[in-house]
Amino acid sequence: GNEYYTEVSVDALLRILHDRSDTKYHKEAAQALIFMFAPLQTGCRPFLKTVVPAILRAMDAAAAGDREFYIITLGRLVSIARQLIRPYLQPVFRLFAADALGSERQQTASIELIEVLAEALSGDFGPHIATVLPFLIAVIDRDGSEQHQPTLRALPALQILSPSLEGYLFLVMPRLIALLDIATTPIGVVEAALKCISSIVAAVNSGSFASRIVLTLVRLLQCSPTQALQTAAIDVLCTLMEQLQDEFTLFMPTISAAMKKRGVADHPRYERYSRLLFSGRLVPKDPQRVLPQMQGDAGQTAASAPALGQSGDGLAKQDVDVMQLRRAWSTKQQMTKDGWAPWMRGFTCELLMQSPSPALRACSNLAGDHPRLRSDLFNAAFVSCWTVLPG
């Protein structure tokens, strides 16, 4: 059945990924595996043990410019396998070594992989948080670009990791506070940093950084060029008030003086929270879960990758085009010895394209260029089509 065809197809593609002489076909082989697994969903479980190391090995053999592709491919595989991939992630997390930042595009792909992992693992990175965090911080620290695009991609990922940052605030918070300097940081980055700080404050005990956060926000309030930025800064103070409760009253005179000086006459949320705090009725809310900010090609999850005619039961269905197969297997035009090789190539490719097995069909494009893959899959493709031909 379909399980057999999937096993044969995966084995044939792994042979290509394991063969250093087939390096130029590695990307297509990895892509075929993703196309194959997309309709399988949890059915890909038996193959993860061999496929994850094979993709990583292909990445090691690839040119530096191709690393981005493999990181994106791993992200799509994680999106498909979700929790099932957890036992095979140890080598994946090595990709986030802080000294392996790579190009800006590669950084973006790596950050999106972190977001996909967070979604798949429900934010539970376990001990791997100690690897992921320094990577994100290194992206921010080494961002010398004018528009700070790498930083703008790293901050939402830090937001997603907020619930896991207990014990790591000493690494994260000083960097975020430094980004609130409106004199040296673009407004868009300041706004993103405020969102990130708000998420962290809501998720973990940030009391040890409370005074630094408040004083920085007060300075921001005093020199903010826009009302929107003022409002965003006060919103963070509201979140901090929720978490600190009575301890926050120490900062309120300073905050009130800064608001009065800047003419901030009305901030309904701050006023309401203040009243609730003094009456003992301000209750901290459970933090909202931050969802991944998927972008570009790397943002294509398994669901958006071509699923080869996926049907409701998770397996792609396709009727065999008998007329097309008959044209392919016709030997009427074969008059010379040299004509049989291209005939066999065309017949095998047509069998793969017409196969009712989604796994075999996923290999059809690569098979057109790879003789050994055609040879490996011919028997399975022939049988898969033969068994469904009308009597």
Q: Give 287's pLDDT tier (boundaries 50, 70, 90).
A: low
Q: Are 296 and 266 in contact (CB under 8 A)?
A: no
Q: Give 308's pLDDT tier (boundaries 50, 70, 90).
A: very low
Size of the chain, expressed as the number of residues it contains = 391
Q: Give 302's pLDDT tier (boundaries 50, 70, 90).
A: very low
Q: Give 305's pLDDT tier (boundaries 50, 70, 90).
A: very low
Least reliable range by pLDDT among 71-80, 94-103, 157-166, 361-370: 94-103
The mean pLDDT of 355-384, rounded to a whole number, is: 92
Q: Give 57's Cβ-side CA count (13 Å radius).
A: 15
User: DSSP assignment, residue 180?
Assistant: T
Q: What is the pTM of this model?
A: 0.82
Q: What angle do CA 284, 285, 291 make, to 5 degrees?
A: 140
Q: Give 68's pLDDT tier (boundaries 50, 70, 90).
A: very high
- Please state, in angstroms and as integers, the Cα–Cα distance from residue 390 to each residue in 36, 319, 320, following that order: 26, 11, 10
Instruction: Report how far residue 189's alpha carbon sits from residue 237's, in angstroms, rounded to the nearest whole number.
Output: 18
- Please state, in angstroms and as integers, the Cα–Cα distance from residue 172 to each residue in 24, 31, 127, following that order: 41, 36, 17
pLDDT in tens, 112-144: 999 999 888 887 787 888 889 999 999 999 998
Backbone torsion region of residue 336, taken as left when φ is above 0, otherwise alpha when ψ lies between -120 and 50, otherwise beta: beta
Q: Give 355's pLDDT tier (boundaries 50, 70, 90).
A: confident
pLDDT mean across residues, the chain:
85
pLDDT in tens, 313-328: 344 556 666 666 666 5
Instruction: Report how far residue 221's alpha carbon sits from residue 261's, in angstroms, rounded to the nearest whole number.
Output: 10
- Residue spans of alpha helices (H) in the chain: 2-18, 26-40, 45-61, 67-81, 90-93, 104-120, 129-141, 149-160, 169-178, 187-203, 210-223, 227-244, 252-261, 268-278, 322-329, 340-354, 358-362, 364-367, 371-386
The mean pLDDT of 198-215, rounded to a whole number, is: 95
**So what's the pLDDT on residue 135?**
94
DSSP string, 264-297: ----HHHHHHHHHHHTT---PPPPPPPPP---TG
- Which tokens hold the place of 271? 């006023």
